[in-house]
Structure 1
């Protein structure tokens, strides 16, 4: 029976930076849903993906005003963006705002609003919104992976400590 033991030694070079754990880039596609609104902001259509983002079924939002779900302090800048979208031919991006979910907590959204104009009358008919949920859990995932790497390094140090005692 042959048993071999070894240890990997890292020799840092003085001209190099300290070695840090490699973290591959996290490609996260934001959760998005499409909604269509009357000119006054009432929901006319809601994509089924809204259930994943907000918890509401599409039919629960139909006929209600989008302003009912906005956080009170965000209404002012959203009303300005709403007005700008109705007057502009180009898409308007909102600032990040808070939208009440079915559970009662607020999720952070950012929307791109585009008004649809009747090609014959040139009047606005409805507003199309591409709504993206902004998640902050990417940072927590990175932090937790760093913590895992640090705990792994600590475990390696413990292993080396006990390995030297044998």
Structure 2
């Protein structure tokens, strides 16, 4: 019973960590990566469509190259990138769109670090909420006398260990992202 509760909560905590890492991947750090364009939607025939569904996206050092499958979508893709407010300026050349990734200013780096800290704190709060949810489930199960008091205490101890482990992983992700943002 306790193992089921802990397993379910661990899956939810892992999902929180995965979401954090995904959010980090779309933050521009001065390094070209196709993930920068993941959240951009293109109005393709009136339907919001991810760029990855309309084109091949590749990255060279300092440059993202978009090669649309439908050449008619080139201007819509360019407009969507401009409207995304990522500070990127795409240029259309023959059959591709090139997006140079300019180096970040020190002010922008500080701004990004603040954003990363806010996102990280939201992830920590989410993990703590999952812990509270599991704790309530364990206490409810104990109260209904499906498990002993000792089993409940053991389960709560395992829950604290699990929570600490995921908070530590979140902090490690934060350190890595800060380092990546700080690298010129």
Q: Which has the higher contact order (CA 8 A, sep 6+)?
A: 2
Q: Which has the larger radius of gyration?
A: 1
Q: Same fold (TM over 0.5)?
A: no
Structure number with the higher helix fraction is 2
Normalised to the residue count of structure 2, the TM-score between the two structures is 0.28
Instruction: Give me the TM-score of the superposition, normalised by structure 1.
Output: 0.30
